């Protein structure tokens, strides 16, 4: 086509078509100029595939050889291209959860200790510093029969531990360490308002491993569990979690999503097939109450109502228009509850005007009272609400 002079305006004339350059001289080709695939071309393509794979294998082998010989310590030439590791993209919600667990671990770990026990039953466990003057919580079975107790803090410092006292009924013990106070302490929460499905973080010192505490995550998978004990009475009102609790983590901390201690890790479920992935923790309200008794008087005092119970199921609670309750399964003869007229199938909905949403909440509320206290129990019976007055007793050794 004729080119126009920009000063004179466009020039009109017959179009002139120029033959395209040969195919081999162009960056593109018309489909009609491309020959169909041949067996030789397919073979060439396959050859490239093998070459690529071989090249990758070769580079991997070369990298392994370089790493093994220490050649990676050599400076990178300035003219070379360095491929930097790209930070993986994490969904915002998952990143927030991960960051929160990291924060909880950083804040709580300084108060988690490793306990080394020597004597007839040598072993190791964990502990939680809950007072800055050196008092820590652990399990009674961790320090049972100990002739000497050594406590290793998160900073690696080692301290002699003295057993203040223990309570087999709750498997809680108190150990005191001396040193330069104040010690880092864990923030204590409450198990009274726990709900199944809440996030949990378990921190302990499993297997006596050196190098600091171990952190695992999970959820509250059940509440108010009755856990059989190898020796003595079963453990009552336990928190069940699927956060991994390894041997040696006994006496460590179970925390909620706010980073507050809600329980002292105590036991794991084991069957003939091995660990079942379920752990149990004593509610911190009970552990703290027992610890205060031990520090004050040298022994734990257990208030006693004299019932066995379970949580009111969701369907029944909704039908009754209740947020929850504790169903009486059995009443101990000659116990405080029996004397007050409590019966099986009664639903306890309040204690001393404090709402009761579960058996766990009832037990925790009772721990805040003392033997001899007279309190009002609000119960549902045959569709009606009644108030019974009960005088609390002291739990018998086999109660």
Residue 281 is encoded by which pair of tokens?
A: 């923790």
Whether residue 138 contacts residue 125, with contact meaning beta carbons closer than 8 Å, is answered with yes
Residue located via tokens 């005088």: 391
Whether residue 214 contacts residue 203, with contact meaning beta carbons closer than 8 Å, is answered with yes
Whether residue 252 contacts residue 262, with contact meaning beta carbons closer than 8 Å, is answered with no
Peptide bond before residue 182 is cis, with ω within 30 degrees of 0? yes
Catalytic residue check, 167:
no
**Beta-bridge partner residues of 219:** 199
Catalytic residue check, 171:
yes
CA distance 187 to 254: 11
φ/ψ of 45, rounded to 5, equals -60, -45
Q: Which is the catalytic residue, given 126, 213, 249, 250?
A: 250
CA distance 221 to 280: 10
Complete DSSP assignment for 95-131: HHHHHHHHHHHHHHGGGEEEEEEEETT-EEEEEEEEE
CA distance 16 to 132: 96
Residues in the chain: 399
Helix, strand, coil shares of the chain, percent, nearest 5, are 25, 35, 40
φ/ψ of 128, rounded to 5, equals -125, 115
Q: Which is the catalytic residue, given 124, 167, 171, 221?
A: 171
Neighbours of 190 (CB within 10 A): 15
Q: Which is the catalytic residue, given 124, 141, 205, 360?
A: 141
Q: How many CA within 13 A on the CB side of residue 258?
A: 9
Residue 240 is encoded by which pair of tokens?
A: 């069940």
Q: Is the dihedral of CA 18, 21, 23, 29 positive or negative?
A: negative
CA distance 115 to 205: 8
Catalytic residue check, 141:
yes
Active site residues: 141, 171, 250
């Amino acid at each position: 086509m004729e080119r126009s002079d920009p000063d004179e305006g466009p020039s009109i004339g017959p179009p002139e078509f120029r033959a395209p350059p040969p195919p081999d001289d162009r960056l593109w080709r018309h489909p009609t100029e491309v020959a169909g695939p041949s067996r030789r071309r397919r073979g060439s393509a396959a050859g490239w595939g093998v070459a690529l794979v071989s090249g990758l294998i070769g580079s991997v082998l070369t990298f392994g050889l370089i790493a093994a010989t220490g050649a990676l310590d050599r400076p990178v030439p300035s003219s070379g291209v360095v491929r930097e590791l790209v930070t993986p993209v994490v969904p915002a919600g998952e990143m927030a959860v991960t960051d929160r667990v990291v924060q909880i671990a950083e804040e709580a770990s300084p108060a988690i200790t490793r306990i080394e026990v020597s004597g007839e039953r040598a072993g190791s466990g964990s502990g939680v510093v809950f007072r800055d003057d050196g008092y820590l919580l652990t399990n009674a079975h961790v320090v049972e029969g100990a002739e000497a107790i050594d406590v290793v803090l998160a900073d690696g410092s080692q301290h002699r531990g003295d057993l203040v006292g223990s309570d087999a009924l709750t498997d809680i013990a108190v150990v005191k360490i001396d040193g330069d106070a104040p010690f880092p302490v864990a923030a204590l929460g409450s198990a009274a308002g726990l709900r199944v499905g809440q996030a949990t973080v378990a921190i302990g010192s499993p297997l006596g491993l050196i190098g600091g505490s171990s952190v695992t995550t999970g959820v509250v998978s059940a509440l108010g569990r009755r856990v059989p004990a190898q020796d003595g009475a079963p453990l009552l009102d336990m928190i069940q979690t699927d956060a991994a609790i390894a041997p040696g983590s006994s006496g460590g901390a179970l925390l909620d999503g706010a980073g507050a201690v809600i329980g002292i890790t105590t036991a794991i479920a084991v069957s003939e097939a091995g660990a079942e992935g379920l752990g149990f923790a004593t509610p911190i309200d009970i552990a703290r109450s027992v610890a205060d008794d031990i520090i004050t008087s040298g022994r734990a005092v257990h208030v006693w109502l004299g019932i066995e119970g379970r949580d009111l199921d969701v369907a029944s609670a909704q039908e009754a228009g209740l947020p929850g309750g504790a169903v009486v399964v059995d009443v101990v003869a000659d116990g405080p509850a029996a004397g007050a007229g409590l019966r099986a199938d009664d639903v306890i909905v309040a204690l001393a005007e404090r709402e009761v949403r579960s058996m766990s909440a009832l037990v925790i509320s009772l721990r805040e009272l003392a033997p001899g206290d007279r309190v009002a129990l609000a119960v549902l019976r045959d569709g009606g609400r009644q108030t019974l007055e009960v005088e609390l007793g002291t739990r018998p050794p086999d109660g």
